[in-house]
Amino acid sequence: MPVTGRKPKPAGHSVHRHRPTHDWVEVPNVPFTGLVPKLPTRQGGWPARTKRKWLAWSSMPHCGLWTRSEWDFAFDSLELAALFHEGDAKVATELRNRERVLGTTADYRRDLRIRYVEAVETESVAGVTSLASFRHL
Protein backbone atom coordinates (compact mmCIF):
# COMPACT_ATOMS: atom_id res chain seq x y z
CA MET A 1 0.00 0.00 0.00
CA PRO A 2 1.50 3.39 -0.93
CA VAL A 3 2.57 5.85 1.72
CA THR A 4 0.57 9.07 1.80
CA GLY A 5 2.16 12.49 1.65
CA ARG A 6 4.75 14.26 -0.41
CA LYS A 7 8.04 12.80 -1.52
CA PRO A 8 10.90 13.36 0.97
CA LYS A 9 13.30 16.23 0.38
CA PRO A 10 17.09 15.74 0.36
CA ALA A 11 18.84 15.63 3.74
CA GLY A 12 19.19 19.09 5.24
CA HIS A 13 16.47 20.68 3.09
CA SER A 14 13.43 19.70 5.08
CA VAL A 15 11.45 22.45 6.77
CA HIS A 16 10.40 20.34 9.75
CA ARG A 17 12.87 18.72 12.12
CA HIS A 18 10.81 15.87 13.57
CA ARG A 19 11.18 12.22 12.53
CA PRO A 20 9.15 11.16 9.50
CA THR A 21 5.99 9.18 10.15
CA HIS A 22 7.10 6.39 7.82
CA ASP A 23 10.69 5.20 7.75
CA TRP A 24 12.40 3.76 4.71
CA VAL A 25 12.37 0.03 4.16
CA GLU A 26 15.85 -1.11 3.22
CA VAL A 27 16.04 -4.22 1.07
CA PRO A 28 19.29 -5.92 -0.03
CA ASN A 29 19.82 -5.32 -3.75
CA VAL A 30 19.82 -8.96 -4.82
CA PRO A 31 17.22 -10.54 -7.10
CA PHE A 32 14.43 -12.34 -5.27
CA THR A 33 14.92 -16.07 -5.61
CA GLY A 34 12.34 -17.22 -3.08
CA LEU A 35 9.14 -19.08 -3.75
CA VAL A 36 7.29 -17.35 -6.60
CA PRO A 37 3.71 -18.45 -7.23
CA LYS A 38 3.31 -20.28 -10.51
CA LEU A 39 2.07 -18.21 -13.43
CA PRO A 40 -1.61 -19.09 -13.89
CA THR A 41 -2.88 -20.48 -17.15
CA ARG A 42 -4.57 -18.03 -19.47
CA GLN A 43 -6.91 -18.67 -22.34
CA GLY A 44 -4.91 -17.98 -25.47
CA GLY A 45 -1.62 -18.08 -23.52
CA TRP A 46 0.58 -15.27 -22.27
CA PRO A 47 2.25 -12.91 -24.78
CA ALA A 48 6.05 -13.20 -24.79
CA ARG A 49 6.44 -9.59 -23.68
CA THR A 50 4.15 -10.23 -20.71
CA LYS A 51 6.19 -13.28 -19.71
CA ARG A 52 9.34 -11.12 -19.73
CA LYS A 53 7.55 -8.55 -17.59
CA TRP A 54 6.57 -11.26 -15.11
CA LEU A 55 10.19 -12.45 -14.90
CA ALA A 56 11.24 -8.88 -14.10
CA TRP A 57 8.46 -8.29 -11.57
CA SER A 58 8.85 -11.60 -9.77
CA SER A 59 12.59 -11.13 -9.29
CA MET A 60 12.50 -7.61 -7.83
CA PRO A 61 14.39 -7.61 -4.52
CA HIS A 62 11.44 -6.30 -2.52
CA CYS A 63 9.22 -9.22 -3.62
CA GLY A 64 10.43 -10.94 -0.46
CA LEU A 65 8.21 -8.54 1.49
CA TRP A 66 5.06 -9.53 -0.41
CA THR A 67 2.27 -11.58 1.08
CA ARG A 68 -0.20 -13.74 -0.79
CA SER A 69 -2.48 -10.74 -1.43
CA GLU A 70 0.35 -8.75 -3.07
CA TRP A 71 1.16 -11.70 -5.33
CA ASP A 72 -2.52 -11.92 -6.28
CA PHE A 73 -2.50 -8.17 -7.03
CA ALA A 74 0.58 -8.72 -9.21
CA PHE A 75 -1.24 -11.47 -11.14
CA ASP A 76 -4.21 -9.17 -11.73
CA SER A 77 -1.80 -6.48 -12.91
CA LEU A 78 -0.12 -9.00 -15.20
CA GLU A 79 -3.48 -9.74 -16.81
CA LEU A 80 -3.82 -6.01 -17.55
CA ALA A 81 -0.29 -6.03 -18.98
CA ALA A 82 -1.25 -8.93 -21.26
CA LEU A 83 -4.30 -7.02 -22.49
CA PHE A 84 -2.11 -3.97 -23.13
CA HIS A 85 0.48 -6.07 -24.99
CA GLU A 86 -2.30 -7.50 -27.13
CA GLY A 87 -3.28 -3.99 -28.21
CA ASP A 88 -5.92 -2.82 -25.70
CA ALA A 89 -4.74 0.73 -24.94
CA LYS A 90 -7.67 1.41 -22.59
CA VAL A 91 -5.92 -0.41 -19.75
CA ALA A 92 -2.67 1.61 -19.97
CA THR A 93 -3.56 4.04 -17.17
CA GLU A 94 -4.65 1.30 -14.79
CA LEU A 95 -1.52 -0.70 -15.59
CA ARG A 96 0.67 2.32 -14.87
CA ASN A 97 -1.11 2.88 -11.54
CA ARG A 98 -0.65 -0.74 -10.58
CA GLU A 99 3.04 -0.66 -11.53
CA ARG A 100 3.39 2.29 -9.17
CA VAL A 101 1.83 0.29 -6.33
CA LEU A 102 4.09 -2.69 -7.08
CA GLY A 103 7.21 -0.46 -7.05
CA THR A 104 8.50 -1.49 -10.46
CA THR A 105 10.81 1.52 -11.03
CA ALA A 106 13.23 3.45 -8.85
CA ASP A 107 10.87 6.43 -8.84
CA TYR A 108 7.92 4.30 -7.75
CA ARG A 109 10.03 2.62 -5.03
CA ARG A 110 11.00 6.05 -3.73
CA ASP A 111 7.32 6.92 -3.42
CA LEU A 112 6.82 3.70 -1.43
CA ARG A 113 9.94 4.49 0.63
CA ILE A 114 11.66 1.30 -0.42
CA ARG A 115 15.43 1.62 -0.73
CA TYR A 116 17.73 -0.98 -2.22
CA VAL A 117 20.99 -1.27 -0.30
CA GLU A 118 24.12 -3.16 -1.24
CA ALA A 119 24.11 -6.66 0.19
CA VAL A 120 26.75 -7.31 2.82
CA GLU A 121 28.56 -10.54 2.11
CA THR A 122 30.33 -12.01 5.08
CA GLU A 123 33.01 -14.57 4.47
CA SER A 124 33.38 -16.80 7.44
CA VAL A 125 35.71 -19.74 7.62
CA ALA A 126 35.33 -22.04 10.60
CA GLY A 127 38.14 -21.55 13.10
CA VAL A 128 39.74 -18.55 11.35
CA THR A 129 39.57 -15.06 12.87
CA SER A 130 39.28 -12.14 10.49
CA LEU A 131 42.11 -9.63 10.85
CA ALA A 132 39.78 -6.84 9.72
CA SER A 133 38.05 -6.94 13.10
CA PHE A 134 41.36 -6.11 14.85
CA ARG A 135 42.58 -3.28 12.59
CA HIS A 136 40.91 -0.42 14.46
CA LEU A 137 42.17 -1.46 17.96
Q: Spell out the domain ranges in the chain.
A: 46-115
Look at 31-40, 74-83, 84-93 and tell me which has the smallest mean pLDDT: 31-40
Q: How far apart are CA 82 and CA 88, in angstroms?
A: 9
Q: How far apart are CA 39 and CA 54, in angstroms?
A: 8
Of 61 and 137, the structure prediction assigns the larger pLDDT to 61
Per residue in 89-123, pLDDT (tens digit) is: 999 999 999 999 999 999 999 999 999 999 876 66
- Averaged pLDDT for residues 34-59: 94
Task: Decide if 100 contacts 93 (C-beta within 8 A).
Answer: no
| Stated pTM of the model | 0.72
Task: Decide if 90 contacts 2 (C-beta within 8 A).
Answer: no
Q: Where are the beta strands (DSSP E) in 12-100?
A: 25-28
Closest by CA position to 65, among listed 113, 120, 111, 8: 113
pLDDT value of position 10: 78
